[in-house]
Amino acid sequence: MPRRFPEAPDSLPAAGLLRRFLAMVYDGLICIALLMVVTEIYNTIYQLSVGADRYKVLFESGATTHDPLLTSVLFISLYLFFAYFWTRTGQTLGMQVWLIRTQNPDGSSISWLQALLRFMMGFVSWGAVGLGYLWQLVDRKHQTWTDRFSESIVVRLPRPYGNKDKTETKGETTTE
């Protein structure tokens, strides 16, 4: 069941390219940590299943370097990371920091299938030297390839109350 977000969908502007990229950098760091943890868990299970001595021989010969099962596990782990956040709150941790959200044009959360489409098109967009994201600069709706392919949008959220830009000096608050 899609979740409805409280803001009126028409009241939120499209997220800018810079905010999207900064959120991607933030999420990229989290993904590196996730991949390291998943790889360590996978290698530990692999070592326990074949035995420490056999694993050492395989590791030293380079046989564990190109493991398609590990690649699949890492790919699925990354998808689950993004899809979990996109389908629940519309925001990964990086998107929360930069106040942007992925949602349907009607203001509801995206489905798992839409998350898969966004995730897959993200690889295509980067594989095309970032052209899929730069497309936002020429698109009249300010959408990237991932937005168009998954039929979703990324919006910029308003600042939460109590966290507005303030100019305070020793207890004095200036209003604009």
Proportion of the chain above pLDDT 90, given as a percent = 72
Q: Write out pLDDT tens, residues 106-165.
A: 999 999 999 999 999 999 999 999 999 999 999 999 999 999 999 999 999 998 876 555
The span from the CA of 160 to the CA of 176, in Å, is 18
Separation CA 45–CA 49 (nearest Å):
6
| Residues of the chain above pLDDT 70, percent | 91
User: What pLDDT, on a 0 to 100 scale, did the predictor assign at position 93?
Assistant: 96
Nearest to 91 by CA among 18, 167, 152, 139: 152
Return the pLDDT at 94: 97
Per-residue confidence (pLDDT) for residue 6, from 0 to 100: 82
- The band of 3, judged by pLDDT with boundaries at 50, 70 and 90, is confident
Task: Name the more confident of 143 and 173.
Answer: 143
Of residues 108 and 1, more confidently modeled: 108
Q: Span 86-103, mean pLDDT?
A: 96
How many whole angstroms separate alpha carbon 112 and alpha carbon 83? 6
The whole-angstrom separation of Cα 58 and Cα 116 is 34
How high is the mean pLDDT of the chain?
90
Kindly report the pTM of this predicted structure.
Answer: 0.84
The DSSP code sequence of the chain is -PPBPSS-GGGSPBPPHHHHHHHHHHHHHHHHHHHHHHHHHHHHHHHHHH-HHHHHHHHHHTTTTT-HHHHHHHHHHHHHHHHHHHHHTS--HHHHHTTEEEE-TTSBPPPHHHHHHHHHHHHHHHHTTTHHHHGGGT-TT---HHHHHHT-EEEEPPPPTT-S--EEETTEEE--
CB-based burial label for 120 (10 Å; 0-12, 13-18, 19+) = middle
